[in-house]
Amino acid sequence: MPGCAHCGGELDIVGNQVGRRDTCPHCGEEVHSCRNCRHFDVTVAKQCKEPFAEVPSDKDEANFCELFQVGEGGLHAKENKDSLLSAAESLFKKK
């Protein structure tokens, strides 16, 4: 089950049926936003893995992207990126 990118709470979504103004039942943040999309990735250009997407500047607000697919979102992506960077940096530290 997908989780909210803002609070990590579970989103009860059937298929990919997310309306533009749907909100998280736990924190009230909008679900149809870049950070909740499976294409969101802070490590790629425009923070979107979908090359044909018109990416909005605000990744937290609801948008009209037709390529939106609910995913784990930015909260989880950021935690994963930070842990990977820490692990890589520790490999090159002098002891």
What are 57-88's pLDDT values in tens digits?
999 999 999 999 988 654 554 555 566 677 77
Q: What distance in Å separates the CA atoms of residue 74 and residue 94, rounded to the nearest whole number?
A: 32
What are 13-58's pLDDT values in tens digits?
877 788 888 999 999 999 999 999 989 988 898 999 999 999 899 9
Q: What distance in Å separates the CA atoms of residue 2 and residue 16, rounded to the nearest whole number?
A: 10
What predicted TM-score, i.e. pTM, was given to this entire model? 0.71
Token duo for residue 80: 């994963």
Residue-by-residue DSSP string for 55-89: --S-SSS----TT--B-S-HHHHHHHHHHHHHHHH
CB-based burial label for 74 (10 Å; 0-12, 13-18, 19+): buried
How many helices (H) and strands (E) would you count in the chain?
1, 0
pLDDT at 94 exceeding the cut of 60: yes
